[in-house]
Structures are given as structure tokens and as C-alpha cells.
Amino acid sequence: MKRIKIAALLQSNDFGKEVLVQAWVRTKRESKNVCFLALNDGSTINNLQVVVDISPEMHKILDRIHTGASVSVIGETVESGGKGQSLEIVCKELTVLGEANPEEYPLQPKRHSLEFLREIAHLRFRTNTFSAIFRIRHAMTFAIHKFFNDKGFCNIHSPIITSSDAEGAGEMFKVTNLDLNNLPRTEEGKIDYKEDFFGKATNLTVSGQLEAELAALALSEVYTFGPTFRAENSNTARHLAEFWMIEPEMAFYDINDDMDLAEEMLQYLVKYALDNCREDLEFLKKRREEEQKQKAQNERDEMNLIEKLEFVINNKFERLTYTEAINILKKSKANQKGQFKYPVDNWGIDLQSEHERYLVEKHFKKPVILTDYPKEIKAFYMKLNEDNKTVRAMDVLFPQIGEIIGGSQREENYDKLVGRMQEMNIPQKEMWWYLETRKFGTVPHSGFGLGFERLMLFVTGMGNIRDVIPFPRTPKSAEF
RNA sequence: UCCUCUUUAGCUCAGUUGGUUAGAGCACCUGACUGUUAAUCAGGGGGUCCUAGGUUCAAGUCCUAGAAGGGGAGCCA
């Protein structure tokens, strides 16, 4: 008999049919003559209830079954005699595929702390919360490819190992196969990378943007979606040393086209989750509501998870320039009463997360796109404005998460780009290939980077980025 | 990296101004129960009080150092 998945079975409402189900036991509830097994196979947040009449033979089998065991069940679908589910199966054959010793199995049918589950990341997939999160993560991955594919974008696999460390996007992880206990040295005593695998120093990529630009200047519209590595000693709920980033790059797009695409994409992805992950989102909504009860009244969410997601797809993002944002912040009561840790006084300061949160959560109460930042606080490749002071950067700020997207129109003018590289001490020699795209058939173009796990934080309503990636890599932590 | 908090049973936590044998709920085991929904009820077993020093007649509790984790900040996506 062919196995049927629980999601399909629960949807079918097809009674009186014999089926084969294989899954893991979430709970076993036993009384004298009857036993109920709640089974989950990860195809849905919902469990299948299996009713077992306790005969002496069944009793022996049931003794081996505890939370976490894997079982194979042949039974007949019936309309449930109890509340809580419409369909259940009456067990005819019950086989234990794998026992789970209850003295050792760490998951109980009760709420565990996220910190504890992080320590057992190999088993946390088996909880409602994490199975919901990773089904949503899959849906978002798929939706990203679908969004770009439907628009005629080309997916580009940018390299993971790179020899350029000129981007200044953060500390990099070194890639080498040199014997670290016996490093080859040059005459000056420095490490001789000519002896290394690639014949030069290499690192893990911190961004696929520069390579994506090369592809965009031929294929017009491309995107990358790959792992990204930053060796920063960042210990926050929003940073990972290994994370996934989506980086579209579009020829003939100016900064406004760039913003339009970013907004359309985010709304598309959130809508996709609402349309395709409803039950998982409802579960996470309830979960968050429970969590909120622990918090002080003024720290609680104004909207629940579903409302928050619907709000994003139903409202235009607020667009304003850095200069306008500074003026709003300067005049704000929070600033005048000295409630900011970093007071807003002069044009040119870098916005702190408290300032971003004020704009998004207090002032506009919706996602905000900030543009035209001072050139001093942004990257060398961003297009310089006419004023010679600001660049065509755009950051999309989301409630609770902060910067979810960072992007810009790129500097396509060769001389201006070289000038900016000189100002910011970016070595031009290593970047010859990047500069050549401005020498040969340069065009206006734009792009942005979306932190995939930050999107996941928003969509799932989870508070810690370590809980939306299967196996988080953070400083002092690379278990599993 | 900085600030701050936490670390007690498998899990979640309580443990008073330092004082006898360290507690609860859940989980586990045993028993009861004709359909349960994290089933319920009764009983039972289960402890390196994070680690190393120190103060004291006496330390889970106080002091010092360290480790791990949480929250906030910086860096950023």
C-alpha cells in the first residue's frame, strides 16, 4: 500500500478508506481500553489522531511507543468521535519503526524554551514551532525564485570563494588549504599565499553584488540567492555569520525603479506566505500572542502576526530622503526630551537603530524607504547625486527588524567611480574587472540586497534570527 | 566587542536576613479510568545547586575569577 501524507489525508475527508500512514508520535494518551496517538509527519502543522483498541497484542506494541517514536499505521478513516478533529483513523496494524527512549528523548509534549531547543537543533524540527518555520522558509525560497522567474530575471550563481576583499562589507573568513602549523613565508616573513590553493589569498563571499552587476550588464535583469559569510563579532538577534541573501541587479533601472521592485517583491512574498502558509502562520500568531502575555502592556504588539502581514501588503511604503528623516527626528519629542541615547543634531550622522525604529514604529507606523544618504556613510559603488554630497542609496526599514533591504543605484560613470574609490581607499588594481564594465557599454543600473533570514523574522514573527535558519552559525557557535 | 541579567531534577522554575534531610509543575515508572486532545486522579524513583577559588562554626544563598546562555548596543542584511 502506498503511504499517504497527513496533510493530504486530513484534507480529503474521505471516510471508510483504508490508508497507510508513516509518521512520528507527538503524544500518546491511554486509558484502559483505548489509546490515542497524535501523529505528525511534517506535511502539516496538524496531527492525525489514530485510535487504537487495546488488545493484548496491541498492548505489547503500545508499550514500545512514546513521544518521538516513529510508526507505521494501517487503518480506516472515520469521522472522529471526539472534538478537535473531523477525521481520524482506526488502527488495524501498528508497527514501530523506531523507538524513542522516554528517559533520554528530550522533547516532551509541552512548551520548551527556544534557547533549549537551539541546543538540540537536530531535533527541533520535530516541534510545531520549528516545523512551521521551516515549511514557511521553504515557501519563501520558492516564492523568491517564482517572483523573479515570472518577471524574466535570470538566477546567477555568484562565487562563494572570492579573492576580492575590496568591498568593505565586513570582516571575511579566510579560505585556505595551507598547513596552519607550518605556513610558507616570503622573504619578508609574511605568509606566502602563492603557495596556497588558488595562488592568492581567498575568502568566503560577503556579497554577490559585484558579480551580479557583471551579469546584469549583459542579461539586463538578474538575481543571486546564496549563502553569505561575515566574520563580524556580532552578537545580536539579527545577525548571523552565515546567512542567505537575495541580490537582484537590474540594468536600466534608476533608484525609483529599484524601490518599486523592492516594495513589490516584499509585498509579493508576504502575500505568498498568507496565501500558502495560512495554518502555519495561524499557529505562529497564537504562539506569539502567548509570548506577548509575558510582556509589559506598553511593549506588546499593536497588531497580531496576521494583521501585521496584511498591513504590509495593503499599505504603500513611506518614501523619504535621509535629509527629511533627520528633520523629522530632530523635531521629534523623543529627541527634544532627550529620550534618544544618540541625540539627533547634525546632518551627516549615521542613523542608529533607535532612530530607524522611531521612524518606522512611532512616526509613520509602516515600512519606510530612506533614500539619498550622505556619501560618507555609504559604499563606494553608490551613484553620486548632483549635490555631490549624497548618494542614491535606499534602505527599506521594517518594524522590529530594522534594515531588511539595503540597495542603491550604482555609479555607472567610470571617472566618478574611480574618484570615489580613491576617496575611500578602495584598491582599483584588484577591481579592474568591475571597472571595465564602466568602460565598455556602461548603463545606469541598480540593485539591492535582501537578508533572507530577516525576511523570515518578519514573516514568522520570531524574535531571534537563530530560530529561522536550521543550523545557525554565530560567534563561538557552529554546532551540528 | 561593550552594558546588563541569568545559570538549582530530563524540561520550566521556586528556594526568605547564610542555618538541619534542597522543593513544585511537567516528563518518566506503577496503579485507577469506555473517547482522549499538552487527558485526568493516586503513588514512586530522580540533584556535580555552571566551574574554580575564597569568606564563615555553617554557602544553593555572600565575595573573586572564568564559562555558557538571554536581552540591549555597535557593525550590518
Q: Does residue A294 approach strand B to less than 7 Å at its CB?
A: no
Q: Does residue A403 approach strand B to less than 7 Å at its CB?
A: yes
Percent pLDDT > 70 in chain A is: 98
Q: What is the ipTM of this complex?
A: 0.88
Percent pLDDT > 90 in chain A is: 71
Q: Does residue A232 approach strand B to less than 7 Å at its CB?
A: yes
Q: How far is the CA of A102 from the C1' of B45 (A)?
A: 15
Looking at residue A171, what is its pLDDT? 82
Q: Provide CB contacts within 8 A for A249, sequence distance 6+.
A: A209, A212, A213, A215, A216, A221, A222, A223, A224, A445, A446, A447
Looking at residue A30, what is its pLDDT? 87
- What is the rounded distance in angstroms from the CA atom of residue A36 to the CA atom of residue A46? 15
- What is the rounded distance in angstroms from the CA atom of residue A410 to the CA atom of residue A261? 15
Residue range A384-439, pLDDT digits in tens: 999 999 999 999 999 888 899 999 999 999 999 999 999 888 888 888 999 999 99
Q: How far is the CA of A288 from the C1' of B9 (A)?
A: 29
DSSP letter assigned to residue A223: E
Q: Is the dihedral of CA A19, A22, A25, A28 positive or negative?
A: positive
Q: Does residue A450 approach strand B to less than 7 Å at its CB?
A: yes
In which band, very low, low, confident or very high, does the pLDDT at A168 lie, cut at 50, 70 and 90?
low
DSSP string across A227-246 = EEE------STT--SEEEEE
Residue range A59-112, pLDDT digits in tens: 889 989 999 999 999 999 999 888 788 899 999 999 999 988 888 888 888 888
Report residue A233 CA to chain centroid gap. 20
Q: Among residues A40, A17, A66, which one has the least CA distance to residue A279?
A: A40
Q: Does residue A127 approach strand B to less than 7 Å at its CB?
A: no
Number of H helices, E strands in chain A: 14, 16
Q: How far is the CA of A191 from the C1' of B68 (A)?
A: 35
User: Which nucleotides on chain B have any atom < 7 A from a protein Cβ?
Assistant: 1-2, 10-13, 26-29, 32-39, 68-77
Which nucleotide across the nucleic acid strands is nearest to A101, CA versus C1'?
A: B28
Q: Does residue A137 approach strand B to less than 7 Å at its CB?
A: no
Residue range A219-234, pLDDT digits in tens: 999 999 999 999 988 8
Residue A167 has pLDDT above 70, yes or no: no
Contact assessment for residue A27 and residue A95, using Cβ atoms and an 8 Å cutoff: no
Which nucleotide across the nucleic acid strands is nearest to A474, CA versus C1'?
A: B69
Residues A279-288, mean pLDDT to the nearest whole number: 93
Q: How far is the CA of A66 from the C1' of B11 (A)?
A: 16
Looking at every residue in chain A, the average pLDDT score rounds to: 92
- In degrees, rounded to 5, the angle at the alpha carbon of residue A192 between the alpha carbons of residues A187 and A196 is 155
- What is the rounded distance in angstroms from the CA atom of residue A368 to the CA atom of residue A123? 38
Residues A7-20, mean pLDDT to the nearest whole number: 92
Looking at residue A166, what is its pLDDT? 56
| Residue A13: all three cell numbers together | 475527508
In which band, very low, low, confident or very high, does the pLDDT at A461 lie, cut at 50, 70 and 90?
very high
Q: What is the pTM of this model?
A: 0.94
- Could you give the C-alpha distances from A359 to A3, A237, A259, A321, A402, in angstroms and in order? 52, 21, 18, 12, 10
Looking at residue A169, what is its pLDDT? 62
Contact assessment for residue A44 and residue A6, using Cβ atoms and an 8 Å cutoff: yes
In which band, very low, low, confident or very high, does the pLDDT at A165 lie, cut at 50, 70 and 90?
low
Looking at residue A443, what is its pLDDT? 97
Residues A44-66, mean pLDDT to the nearest whole number: 91
Residue range A104-149, pLDDT digits in tens: 888 888 888 899 999 899 999 999 999 999 999 999 999 999 999 9
Residues A210-214, mean pLDDT to the nearest whole number: 95
- The residue ranking higher by pLDDT, A450 or A340, is A450
Which nucleotide across the nucleic acid strands is nearest to A244, CA versus C1'?
A: B77
Residues A349-372, mean pLDDT to the nearest whole number: 92
- The residue ranking higher by pLDDT, A366 or A294, is A366
